[in-house]
């Protein structure tokens, strides 16, 4: 249960040693670099990395190539599996193939450009087909639709109803001959032949009726012939696209090497970006950062090994300075750090609540899942998944949380006598038939949870030398709440405890707001009203009873349905078995999700609200945050 103490580190080294030092810092993964702040006038420039723009372009190109090949990668990936690993020797072999792999990238880029040109051709062909399709029944070649000495030929569209009236009523008389070629929705496609002498009058009449002229390409073929030609062109383009796809897919064997190359180059890109924060002179550079106190000796040893001339200085944070926050707990508690981080990291100088929170979290999960069969299943299956699937760190932490919740569920499910919805043994607690004792346990655990939060707040005040605050803000509420509860069983003792607590609150609650006794008394009266919030806080723990009851009821209903199906004979036995397994898996899954969410809520709102000081900034070291593969450090095992 600790927030790791951080040390400042200042480093001065030869510029020639910068690449190896940065690589070593990245391998260590325990130094958060800061923009350097050297007061020495000789460090008058920031380290500029000229190769960074070229490297960033290369990294982006490799990542694009990986994405392009991903759709053709048929390699089966294990469920939840973590990234594979390569050692430094293998990484160097990949770097030795860089030119070859970049040729693969260039080839993929060329194929993509070719494919883009073909897509453009396809778009033009489709546009031409769309334009010509309505005129497919036009019988004459398009280049013959031209004006003569006495006549004009016009193609166009008009509203279907208007075109019908022109044709049937002979509206334009002998001035114009109109032929409807086709119609689509509410538009008619028309072929018009008119005398030149009356063309202006006819076109005005047509325009008034909503006519819109259309110009088609002058081709020595009919529309039907041209559409056939376009179909042939499109088929040819599709064949070329298939060939490009096949040639692209043929490169998929290099996807793993490209992924490794990406992570190697990206690691270098990250180092170069970090180097931009360094101050530099003509022959040296200066960096600053944070390092965990427990890693100081290892950092000094490793950096001096690769650069004997490096100058290192480690020192404590200045008064009022806020170092980044890194949590460190025992292995059994460590997975629950993600629950705390999901809320907010604790502020520097406060307390890491992970170890205190963990037993409450798992027990609340167990009470809400509340079926020993489900818990046994979780406690067995989750470690097996971790062992055989080797999941990524984040998934692994979640599986360990579910394992711990499963163990607690076995205990609480046995207490409730619930095993896959059955009750085969005598029950110590019976949520369905005798709810009051279970409710009492839920409220009791809630009270312990809240008082633990008060205790942590008191501990923090005492540790900071604020004894009066511990008495006024924590002990007073403990006396008041415990006294009110004890008045039920020991009225005399409970009354005096409650009066003592209320008196302390009344006198001290407004101490920070005013020195006026009357105003402080009014503030104390207002604070006493806060006792009602304790009632709502305690009632929040009734969700432990409600969700546990829901799990049991749903499991029992599933079993009743299974029994009904089983009575149908052999077919019913098969269907009943499927229903039993599927129903209980669904019940376990949905209630485990709800139990996790509500356990988090009880920590974040009820527990943390009593003491938690958040706002810490996470510790973000320069590290190998690889996307596809891990690159193992040989020195780490030496």
Please state, in angstroms and rounded to a whole number, the distance separating the CA atoms of residues 262 and 274: 18
Nearest Cα to Cα of residue 416 among 363, 365, 362, 370: 370
Question: Which of 11-20, 33-42, 546-555, 566-575 is predicted least confidently?
Answer: 33-42
DSSP single-letter state for residue 417: T
Which residues in 32-138 belong to E strands, given as ranges? Answer: 32-34, 45-46, 85-86
* Count of C-beta atoms within a 10 Å radius of residue 350: 18
Please state, in angstroms and rounded to a whole number, the distance separating the CA atoms of residues 598 and 295: 37
Please state, in angstroms and rounded to a whole number, the distance separating the CA atoms of residues 622 and 599: 34
637 falls in which pLDDT band (50, 70, 90)? very low
**What's the whole-number mean pLDDT along residues 226-242?**
94
* φ, ψ (nearest 5 deg) of residue 205: -65, -45
Q: What is the pLDDT of residues 215-232, one digit of tens each?
A: 888 888 889 999 999 999
Please list the alpha-helical segments (H only) found in 197-254: 199-208, 223-249
Share of the chain above pLDDT 70, in %: 92
pLDDT at 308: 94
Residue 128 has pLDDT above 60, yes or no: yes
Q: Cα dist. 388→192, 440, 527 in Å?
A: 78, 42, 55
Please state, in angstroms and rounded to a whole number, the distance separating the CA atoms of residues 154 and 147: 9
Residue 259 has pLDDT above 70, yes or no: yes
Please state, in angstroms and rounded to a whole number, the distance separating the CA atoms of residues 170 and 176: 9
If you write DSSP's letter for every residue of 305-359 in order, what string do you get? Answer: HH-TT-EEEEEEPPTT----B-EE--TTTGGGHHHHHHH-PBPTTS---HHHHHH
pLDDT at 480: 79
pLDDT at 36: 74
pLDDT at 427: 77
DSSP single-letter state for residue 434: B
Residue 459 has pLDDT above 60, yes or no: yes
- Helix (H), strand (E), coil (C) string for 568-624: CCHHHHHHHHHHHHHHHHHHHHHHHHHHHHHHHHHHHHHHHHHCCCECCCECCCCCC
Tokens matching residue 602: 């009880």
pLDDT at 638: 39
Residue 1 has pLDDT above 60, yes or no: no
Specify the higher pLDDT residue, 238 or 567. Answer: 238
Q: Cα dist. 215→128, 131, 156, 385 in Å?
A: 12, 10, 8, 68
Residue 46 has pLDDT above 60, yes or no: no
Question: Which of 166-175, 308-317, 491-500 is predicted least confidently?
Answer: 166-175
pLDDT at 513: 61
Show the domains of the chain with their CATH numbers. Answer: 146-215 (3.30.70.100), 334-439+448-461+539-610 (no CATH)
Residue 512 has pLDDT above 80, yes or no: no
Share of the chain above pLDDT 90, in %: 56
Please state, in angstroms and rounded to a whole number, the distance separating the CA atoms of residues 282 and 375: 65
Residue 635 has pLDDT above 60, yes or no: no
pLDDT at 429: 85
Q: What is the pLDDT of residues 380-416, one digit of tens each?
A: 999 999 998 888 888 999 999 999 999 999 999 999 9
**Contact 267/624 with Cβ under 8 angstroms?**
yes
* φ, ψ (nearest 5 deg) of residue 269: -60, -45
Q: What is the pLDDT of residues 429-446, one digit of tens each?
A: 888 888 898 999 999 999
Residue 554 has pLDDT above 90, yes or no: yes
**Contact 480/471 with Cβ under 8 angstroms?**
no
**What's the whole-number mean pLDDT along residues 282-292?**
91
- Say which residues have a Cβ less than 8 Å from residue 177's Cβ, sequence separation at least 6: 192, 193, 194
**Contact 262/628 with Cβ under 8 angstroms?**
yes
């Amino acid at each position: 249960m600790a927030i790791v103490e951080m040390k400042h580190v200042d480093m001065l080294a030869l510029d020639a040693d910068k690449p190896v030092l940065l690589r070593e810092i990245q391998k260590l993964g325990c130094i958060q670099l800061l923009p350097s702040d050297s007061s020495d006038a000789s460090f008058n420039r920031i380290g500029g990395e000229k190769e960074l723009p070229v490297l960033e372009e290369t990294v982006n190109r490799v990542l694009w190539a990986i994405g392009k090949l991903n759709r053709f990668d048929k390699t089966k990936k294990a469920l939840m599996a973590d990234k594979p690993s390569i050692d430094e020797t293998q990484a160097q072999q990949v770097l030795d193939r860089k030119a070859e792999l970049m040729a693969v990238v260039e080839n993929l880029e060329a194929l993509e450009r070719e494919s883009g040109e073909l897509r453009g051709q396809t778009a033009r062909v489709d546009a031409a087909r769309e334009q010509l399709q309505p005129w497919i029944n036009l019988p004459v070649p398009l280049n013959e639709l031209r004006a003569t000495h006495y006549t004009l030929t016009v193609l166009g569209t008009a509203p279907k109803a208007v075109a019908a009236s022109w044709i049937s009523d002979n509206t334009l008389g002998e001035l114009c001959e109109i032929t409807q070629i086709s119609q689509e929705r509410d538009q008619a496609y028309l072929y018009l032949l008119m005398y030149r002498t009356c063309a202006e009058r006819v076109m005005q009449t047509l325009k008034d009726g909503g006519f819109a002229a259309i110009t088609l390409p002058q081709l020595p073929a009919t529309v039907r012939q041209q559409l056939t030609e376009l179909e042939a062109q499109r088929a040819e383009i599709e064949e070329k696209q298939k060939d490009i796809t096949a040639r692209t897919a043929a490169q998929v064997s290099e996807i793993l090497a490209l992924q490794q190359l990406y992570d190697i180059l990206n690691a270098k890109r990250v180092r170069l970006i970090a180097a931009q924060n360094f101050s530099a002179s003509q022959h040296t550079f200066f960096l600053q950062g944070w390092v965990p106190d427990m890693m100081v000796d290892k950092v000094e040893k490793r950096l001096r090994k690769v650069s004997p001339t490096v100058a290192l200085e480690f020192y404590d944070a200045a008064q009022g300075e806020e170092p980044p926050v890194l949590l460190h707990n025992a292995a059994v508690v460590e997975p629950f750090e993600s629950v705390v981080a999901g809320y907010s990291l604790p502020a520097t100088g406060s307390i890491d609540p992970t170890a205190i929170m963990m037993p409450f979290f798992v027990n609340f999960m167990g009470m809400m899942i509340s079926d020993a069969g489900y818990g046994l299943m979780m406690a067995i299956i989750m470690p097996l998944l971790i062992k055989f699937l080797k999941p990524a760190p984040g998934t692994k932490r979640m599986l360990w949380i579910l394992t711990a919740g499963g163990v607690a569920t076995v205990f609480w499910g046995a207490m409730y006598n619930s095993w896959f919805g059955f009750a085969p043994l005598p029950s110590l607690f019976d949520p369905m038939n005798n709810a009051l004792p279970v409710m009492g346990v839920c409220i009791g655990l809630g009270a312990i949870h809240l008082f633990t939060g008060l205790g942590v707040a008191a501990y923090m005040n005492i540790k900071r030398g604020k004894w009066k605050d511990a008495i006024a803000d924590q002990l007073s509420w403990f006396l008041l709440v415990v006294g009110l509860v004890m008045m039920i069983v020991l009225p005399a003792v409970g009354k005096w405890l409650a009066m003592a607590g209320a008196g302390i609150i009344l006198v001290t609650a407004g101490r920070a707001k005013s020195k006026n006794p009357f105003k402080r008394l009014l503030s104390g009266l207002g604070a006493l009203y806060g006792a009602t919030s304790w009632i709502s806080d305690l009632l929040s723990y009734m969700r432990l009873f409600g969700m546990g009851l829901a799990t049991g009821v749903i499991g029992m209903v599933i079993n009743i349905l299974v029994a009904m199906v089983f009575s149908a004979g052999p077919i019913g036995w098969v269907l009943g078995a499927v229903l039993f397994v599927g129903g209980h898996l669904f019940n376990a899954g949905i209630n485990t999700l709800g139990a996790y969410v509500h356990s988090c809520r009880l920590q974040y709102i009820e527990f943390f609200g009593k003491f938690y000081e958040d706002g810490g900034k996470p510790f973000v070291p320069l590290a190998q945050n690889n996307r596809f593969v891990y690159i193992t450090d040989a020195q780490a095992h030496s």
